Structure 1
Amino acid sequence: MQARRLDTREIPTHRALAAVLPGGVLREGTVVQATGSTSLVMALLAGPSAAGRWVAVVGMPAFGAEAARRFGIDLSRLVLVPEPGGQWLTVAATLADTVPVVVVRPEGRVSPGEVSRLAARIRQRGALLIATGAWPGADTVLEVTGSRWTGLEAGHGALVEREVVVRTAGRGGFGPGGAARLRLPDAPGGVAEAVETPLAPVHRLDERRAG
């Protein structure tokens, strides 16, 4: 991996996320806060990874390589640092020097100083930071607020697809907030827009039972 020159501020993004992201794309030098589902994080990584970019995940020991592969993430360009402990900030900042997309789960509450230092590094390197916990000043905030599975019928069958509601807020001129529905995962195991059918009552996502 080598330091890179940047030609554009847009990052290859899975087309299904266009309805979720302000402006319809991920952007270099920004921070996205994504909470409520590991599957949402994998969906955000799918586009950049499929386009040949390296991605890194810091502080998420439950991040499954096989599930990531089904979402379209290239495991040969995936860096995993499951348990950085109190060094999570240093690890994330170091990776941002050479890895275009870095996911981090902060240890505890993030201080303003930590936010400022890492955000400056991200802007300088033209990387994308995806934070899976609260991140003050994030350019885009995505949250999975509801979820329902399909596939079980009359008490038999298998879970096939999960439809989720993703609420979005943006700042910095990247677009207004709103909500959209995605299939995470869809039947093939990836990500897709939800079919426009009446939405059944959704249930608060429990990350302990669904990724």
Structure 2
Amino acid sequence: MGAPLSEQDRDDVIARLRRQLVDNGTAPEARRRGPAEGGDIPLHPLLRSLVPGGLLARGTIVTAPPRIGGAAAGDGAVTYATLALVAGATAGGAWAGVVGFPNFGIAAASGLGADLSKMLLLDDPGDRWLDAAAVLAGAVDLVLLHTPRRPSAAQLRRMSHRVRPGNRQRGCVLVVTGPWESPHLTLTTHNPRWEGLGDGNGNLTRRRVTISATGRATRGLQRDVDLWLPSADGTISEFRAEQEKKEEQEQQPSGEKPHLRIA
């Protein structure tokens, strides 16, 4: 065994190890830092229950649901759930880069609380999508990426390396709406239900949806949250079953019986 360290040498070693923990983001004070200081990336307040601590650690890869319906997922259409991720991050001080979404909803993102001054958009990178995402990963805190095709193993390794914190890079969170092998967090939406259409007329006003989170980032547990996304005013709000039932009863005229309308 070597000679025991002197008190001064021991303090120097502890200080050096402490600096390393801060640099790689594992020290408690590092996890409390904001995104501008290299801290973790915040979620929207109503999405924080999906992951322990309500934050996404740098290096996390998230797969989010693609949009289906009139705008094909292959066109880079973005969902409200994905917009909520970007809104929560930028509202919390993080910078976001958006790659491959020509139909990205600027107005919808703003309505959900996104800080548009902290967003960089590259709607159509073509075959250079990986290069664009890799460059942005070194400059922003969250990258939202639509992959036009299934990435190869080499592309997966390159992007995973670019988002991981290291000695020369702070790292970032990668949110992907296309196929991706072994993500840390998978978000899915269930039971979407729009409201607002009346008896053959009216406008869609709000959508109730359940968002589920699974994967290593949730510590092996499925976590769910019920939301109005969007709510009637275009924001995101919590779905409360008791409150909704009460409002529904108040809106129903007393003693009025439903009638059949033939059009």
Q: Shorter-chain TM-score category? A: 0.7 to 0.9
Give the structure 1 partner of residue 137 of structure 2: 96
Give the structure 1 partner of residue 64 of structure 2: 34
Q: CA deviation at 1:45?
A: 1.1
2:193 counterpart (143, 148, 152): 148
For 1:37-116, list aligned pairs within 5 A. 37=67, 38-116=79-157
Give the structure 2 partner of residue 195 of structure 1: 240
Q: Counterpart of 1:61 in 2: which secondary structure? A: coil
Q: Measured at CA, do residues 26 and 47 of structure 1 come closer, stay the same or move farther in structure 2, by a change above 3 Å?
A: same
Q: Measured at CA, do residues 77 and 172 of structure 1 come closer, stay the same or move farther in structure 2, by a change above 3 Å?
A: closer
Q: CA deviation at 1:175?
A: 4.2
Amino acid across the alignment from 2:138:
D
- Does the Cα contact within 8 Å between 2:138 and 2:171 map onto a contact in 1? no
2:171 corresponds to 1:126? yes
Give the structure 2 partner of residue 12 of structure 1: 42
Moved more, 96-105 or 162-171: 162-171
Q: CA deviation at 1:173?
A: 6.2
Give the structure 2 partner of residue 184 of structure 1: 229
TM-score (norm 1): 0.83
Q: Measured at CA, do residues 156 and 74 of structure 1 come closer, stay the same or move farther in structure 2, by a change above 3 Å?
A: same
Q: Counterpart of 1:79 in 2: which secondary structure? A: strand
Q: Counterpart of 2:197 in 1: which secondary structure? A: strand
Q: Counterpart of 2:226 in 1: which secondary structure? A: strand
Q: CA deviation at 1:178?
A: 4.0
Moved more, 6-15 or 76-85: 6-15
Q: Measured at CA, do residues 144 and 36 of structure 1 come closer, stay the same or move farther in structure 2, by a change above 3 Å?
A: farther
Q: Counterpart of 2:164 in 1: which secondary structure? A: helix
The CA RMSD over aligned residues, in Å, is: 2.3
Flag structure 2 segments of 5+ consecutive residues without an equivalent: 1-22, 32-38, 68-78, 245-263
Q: Compare the two structures and name the one with the higher strand fraction.
A: 1
- Does the Cα contact within 8 Å between 1:33 and 1:142 map onto a contact in 2? yes
Q: Measured at CA, do residues 175 and 196 of structure 1 come closer, stay the same or move farther in structure 2, by a change above 3 Å?
A: farther
Q: Which has the higher contact order (CA 8 A, sep 6+)?
A: 1
> How many residue pairs align between the two structures?
195
Moved more, 125-134 or 23-32: 23-32
Give the structure 1 partner of residue 54 of structure 2: 24
Q: Counterpart of 2:64 in 1: which secondary structure? A: strand
In structure 1, distance between residues paired with 2:53 and 2:220: 6
Flag structure 1 segments of 5+ consecutive residues without an equivalent: 200-211
Q: Compare the two structures and name the one with the higher helix fraction.
A: 2
Amino acid across the alignment from 2:130:
L
TM-score (norm 2): 0.68
